[in-house]
Amino acid sequence: MALEAHFEQTIRSEIEFSGIGLHSGAPVLMRLVPAPAGSGIVFRRTDLDNFEIAAIGRNVAKVSYATSLMRQSVLISTTEHLLSALIGFGVDNVIVEVDNLEVPILDGSSLPYVQAFHSVGLKQQRRKREYLKILKEVEVREGSKFIGVYPGSGYRIQYTIDFPQPIGYETFRGDLATGDYVKLIAPARTFGFKEDEGMLRDMGLIRGVSDESAIILSRQGVVNGPLRFNDEFVRHKVLDLIGDLALAGRRIQGHVVAERAGHAMHTALVQRLMRDRSAWELAHGYDEVAEPARVMGQLQPATVS
């Protein structure tokens, strides 16, 4: 049974992060600022006269190794981990001020964000939250890669990956409506293979990577363990998916299934959804059991196992 409709939320006070961009290697100062109801998530480039880019599907730019947004040739890169934390924790409205072109990578997960949200708290706003209620299936296929969204209660996700060893085949199932995000998804870090480092650097990528910001793998195993979860790799893909689907502008009510997908397919699903207005409706009710913020007390430190 659907619970009483929830209201939009923003953070109670400003939050500041500093670090370097995963791909650019550039230092960046980022500040999250409370925003009025109905604002959504908006990035603001403070180094470019406060130019604003809304976190919505029509502003999606490069999506090969990270999800970037662009408007009028102004770029904000690697947005997925922050967007994932905002959606996963229930933050509807916020201004994200950054003084460079890329969001800081921090520890490669969304854990620093949810810890910060928990620290400052959330403020309930007067506007009822709208959910993107899925009415019919929408699918994207590319060879053996697949992603689809289907009608259903909650926000259930099933994700399957199949990488070279030592990762192999992993599947994760979870539901954001029951608070799974905070405990089971937010701590999962990004990852990459050591042998791909030279190729990626030649492409102008991962210039800011370190043992503190990603899981590094060789063919023999994890170079900088231990893992936070035995299946941390697929959990991070779920984290990315939630961040990418945030570009629909609202949290989804439905079931998402993904197999060997990635940023490009995640955002392709968003764009296909946005084009097919018969596939969804805006709804205030939501069949959820608990807001993630309410189970925050169960969150463990970065050594979650």
Annotated binding-site ranges: 81, 236, 240
AA letter at 167: I
φ, ψ of residue 114 in degrees (nearest 5):
-65, -30
State how far Cα 296 lies from the chain centre: 18
Angstrom distance (rounded) from CA 192 to CA 279: 35
- Residues 6 or more apart whose Cβ sits within 8 Å of residue 132: 248, 249, 250, 251, 252, 253, 254, 273, 280, 282
Angstrom distance (rounded) from CA 223 to CA 61: 32
Query: Is there a catalytic annotation at residue 23?
Result: no
Which of these, 64, 63, 67, lies nearest to 55 by C-alpha position?
67
Angstrom distance (rounded) from CA 189 to CA 145: 22
DSSP 189: P
Q: Which of 23, 255, 263, 266 is catalytic?
A: 263
- Number of Cβ within 10 Å of residue 154's Cβ equals 19
Orientation of helix 232-245 relative to helix 263-275, angle to 10°: 30
CA angle 299/88/16 to nearest 5° reads: 80
State how far Cα 130 lies from the chain centre: 19
Query: Which residues contribute to the annotated binding site for Zn(2+)?
Result: 81, 236, 240
Which of these, 117, 65, 95, 114, lies nearest to 244 by C-alpha position?
65
Which amino acids are annotated catalytic? 263
